Structure formats: C-alpha cells, structure tokens
Chains A and B, each alone.
Chain A
C-alpha cells in the first residue's frame, strides 16, 4: 500500500486527481486520468522508501549553499526592457498587461 492509498482510502482515484489538479491549477482531461493516477501512485510508492530512514534530530537542508546569501544594494537600476517584455504577453492594451477580472463573477 502506498502513501496515496494509505492516506486516502476513503477517496476515489477521481477525487484525488480532482483535488490535486485543483491545487495545481491544471485542467486534466478524462483520458489522462488513469495514466496520471498510475504514474503518481508509482512515483509516490518509489519515494516512500525514505520512510525507513531515521531523521530524528536532523536539521533539514533547504538550500544548495551553506554560504550566507548576499543581497544586492537596494538601488534603482534603469531597465529598457519594458517593450520587449510586454511583447511576449498574450493580451495587452497600451503597454499594460490585460487580465480577467479577479473579483466577483470573473474569479
């Protein structure tokens, strides 16, 4: 039994995929459900082998370096990239990025 099945015995595969696709903001077509569920289950089963390792008292590592990170001075830097950046945006209006409404019915 892998982690998915263990923790979600009461949930159907469809419910798990629906929950994860919602968290992931991913539209998953019904034809992809089964293969994705199988893939996720086998990946989670594979990584479950870590459970046997005793990490009592071990400090987690979240960075690739132990050096203190150096933050650059908070100074204004001129940039002339605005046009090039905006040119990649799907929808724009007079140099501004157009977005759907985020309040009310739009959200």
Chain B
C-alpha cells in the first residue's frame, strides 16, 4: 500500500472504503520503522496508533465517523503536548516528560478522529534553522541525507517529504515552518497569528508563536486548517474572526482579481540568483493566467531579523524561566551535588539541561531586559516591530499577496553553518511576516541541482483561503 498519498487522497480513499485506517496506519508506521533510523525525524511513537485506527474503522463501519478526517494519520512536532506521549521540545531539559493533556491543536485533530503517529524531532525549544540544535541528534533531509532539512520544525518537514505522514503540525516563530518546508520540498503554512490556538504548545516567543502545518499540497493545508482554526477559551490571543470554508475559497479564487506584489528588498544581496529567478518566474506564470504583478517596497524588511533577535530572547528568557528543576527535569535531579542552595540548584539544573542556543538566548534576553540596556534594545526593537507591521499594512492596500523567496539558499550541508549569526540569517526572509503576524505559506516551485526551492507567499490577515488558493495555482503551474 502507498504511504505517500496526500491528506485529501487518504480522506477520500477512506470514504470510498478503498482502504482502512488500520491499513493506512500500518503502512505509515512500517515506513517510519524503515526510514527513521536514517532520517531521525521521529523522537517518539504513539504506541496506541494501531488500536486507535481499529476504533476509527469501527466508527466508519457504523457510519458514526467523527469527521471526514476520521482515521487519517498525522504527526506533530515535539513542541505540542500529547497526553501520555513523551514531549521534549528537542531538549534534555524535558527528557521523559509525559504531558497530562493534549495541546488544543492535537485535541482538535483527535476529536476529528485523526490518528497521531508520533512526535517529530526539532531544534531545542524551536531555536534553530537547521534541525542540528536538537538535543536528540540532527534530522536529515530526505532529498539528500548529507544536508539539513531546515528548522526548527526539522522532523515535521522531513516526515512529510519522506511520506511518513501526510500532515505534521509545526510551529513557526520566525520561519520554523516555512524554511524547512522549502528545504524539503513540501507545503508549509504559517496562518495568521491567533488563528490556531497556542494552548499546550511549549512557549518560545508568545507574541509571535504561530501553529501551522506541513502537507504535500495547499489543498491539504486548507483541509487541516479547517479543523485547527478557531477561538479557544484557553488561549486569550486566539481570534474571534469567523473560520470560512477554506476548500471552497480555494476553488472559487479568481486569479484575474489578484494582484501579486514583488517587494524589492527580498531580491538583494545574499540571495542565490537562481532562487530569485524561480520566484519571478512563478509570478510570471500567474500573470499569464490573468493575475496582475507589480513591484513594490517594504522598507523595513531587512530590519526584521535583528528586531527578532532582540525580542525573541527577551520573551524566550521569560518563558524558559519555568525550567528550574522543581516542576520539570525529573531525570536531572540525580546529578545535583549535595549541599547546594536553592539558587545554586536552579543554576545547576539549567546549566546542565539547556543546550548552547537556549543559553545564548536566555543571556541575551536578560541583557536586553536589564534596566541599563532595555531602552536602547528591547524598547527600540518593539518600536521597529510597529514599522515592520505598517509596511505590510501599506503593501496590502496595493496588492493581495506578496511573492518572495523563503530562504537565501537551498538546503545546506550538515555541519556547514557553525556561527550562530550565520544560522540566524537563514531566516532573513521569513522574519518580517512572523513579527507582523500575517499569514504566509511556503510552496515548492522548482529545483536547483536537485534541491527544492520554496516560494513564500504572504497574505492579508485571516485571508488564508485566498493565500492557499494562489498557492494552489502556483503549484499546479510549476508542476506542469
């Protein structure tokens, strides 16, 4: 049985009884068993997956399926809490941590009858752009195992690209869904901030943490978003904005009414010219189909990354304060020397449990939040964030969507980037949409030397249907 079908093919195949959920689940789990030793895309498997698939098949036989996705398998980044299944966020700090409840996104899929296969590897606490900062070893890119899959949602991108899951949940605070999607050649959607609940996901930068999806197609992303989107009483930042029928909006999209903007700041120095060419060519193809294409400027684009590396550490240092060896880190307590004071114990557990990147962020965070430096750094960056936001407001007065590259290069070799600032630069084009909270999707549009190239399409807030509709057109055009 095929294991690399799309989410919609699985949904429709189950409805037509071409196969059972158990057959699908078995096929995917077999594929994971075969490929994961090489890819390291999964950190933990759901031991109940087969039993849950049997239960789904029983519901379908009785005609009492919970939704059209009942019985469809999926995976989730290890940032999402999962009842009874170890959740580590890629950190030794949470080694062996077994959550008491599901994240809202996971719960919504469970309520729809979807089958959780397991948890995907990621950079520690979602801090990284290559997957190499996971405390449990790097994930390999299924397209070329000598290369990184991108990050931080490294395992999610690799799992979907390798056909080990038709859908994986990811988190994106600065590009962590879009950039690995581009590196692995799959579709990565970061919806509008507040569209999908953050409840029950490990917090990195609360004001910019977005929950989203990896799928094979934009249509699959729409199907998943339909279930995941909506207000959640347990996340006060979720939007009250109505959730439209995304599949319908994709089908009804009229390209003749769409204006595509090409912002010049995304095509400057440091970008692989072959990637620039593919992005422009995607716009040209839509132009031939009736869309209007204009060039424009978003002047604060390149200020987003340095802004992010002030604001993220500030928020992350606060969010990571909870890891003190009192409530978490059960496994670390044995290594604490006798006779330490409480403060010494905190520092010891944190010094041992955090990897290098979280340490850097915590220290930078404490630096920018200190009384001495706060005005020049944190407060100033928070104002620049407003200017970044205004750039998008102005742009969307003229255009409906923006076309940009996702990353300045294709997937780089494992171990090739050692300097932290060089690693940060992999997210230079994905940062601004994250800080502004506008939706963006990464779509595979071609290859360079056999490696996938991603196009970033940025849309208006809560216009995910339009965004995915444009993405669907792009994908169909660039495939033929």
Residues of A within 8 A of B (CB): 3-4, 7, 20-21, 23-29, 32, 36, 39-40, 42-44, 46-51, 53, 55, 58-65, 67, 69-72, 81, 84-85, 87-91, 97, 99-102, 105-107
- Residue from B239, B343, B385, B419 within 8 A of A65 (CB atoms): B239
Task: Name the interface residues of B143-173: CB closer than 8 Å to any CB of A.
Answer: none
Question: Is the pair B363, A36 in contact by a Cβ cutoff of 8 Å?
Answer: yes
Closest partner residue, chain A, to B321 (CB atom): A25
Question: Is the pair B367, A44 in contact by a Cβ cutoff of 8 Å?
Answer: yes
Besides A27-B350, A70-B236, A88-B327, 20 new A-B residue pairs in contact (Cβ under 8 A), listed by A number: A24-B366, A25-B321, A26-B350, A27-B352, A28-B351, A36-B363, A44-B367, A47-B307, A58-B386, A59-B383, A61-B383, A62-B382, A65-B437, A67-B194, A72-B236, A88-B328, A89-B328, A90-B328, A91-B333, A106-B341
At the interface, is chain A mostly helix, strand, loop or mixed?
A: loop
A60 / chain B contacts, CB cutoff of 8 Å: 379, 382-383, 385-386
Selected A-B contacts with CB under 8 Å, 11 pairs:
A20-B363, A42-B421, A47-B306, A49-B306, A59-B383, A67-B240, A71-B236, A72-B234, A88-B97, A88-B327, A105-B341
Q: Chain B's nearest CB lies how many Å from the CB of A58?
A: 4
At the interface, is chain B mostly helix, strand, loop or mixed?
A: helix
Given contacts A46-B421, A70-B240, A84-B98, whether A26 and B383 have CB atoms under 8 Å apart is no
Task: Name the interface residues of B347-385: CB closer than 8 Å to any CB of A.
Answer: 347-348, 350-352, 354, 356, 359-360, 362-367, 370, 372-373, 376-377, 379-385
Question: Is the pair B437, A90 in contact by a Cβ cutoff of 8 Å?
Answer: no
Question: Is the pair A27, B372 in contact by a Cβ cutoff of 8 Å?
Answer: no
Scan B200-234; emit 1 where CB is below 8 A from any A CB, else 0: 00000011111000000000000000000001011
Q: Chain A's nearest CB lies how many Å from the CB of B242?
A: 13
B236 / chain A contacts, CB cutoff of 8 Å: 69-72
A85 vs B342: C-alpha distance when bound (angstroms):
22
Question: Is the pair B237, A43 in contact by a Cβ cutoff of 8 Å?
Answer: no
B360 / chain A contacts, CB cutoff of 8 Å: 36, 39-40, 43
A50 / chain B contacts, CB cutoff of 8 Å: 303, 306-307, 310, 380-381, 384
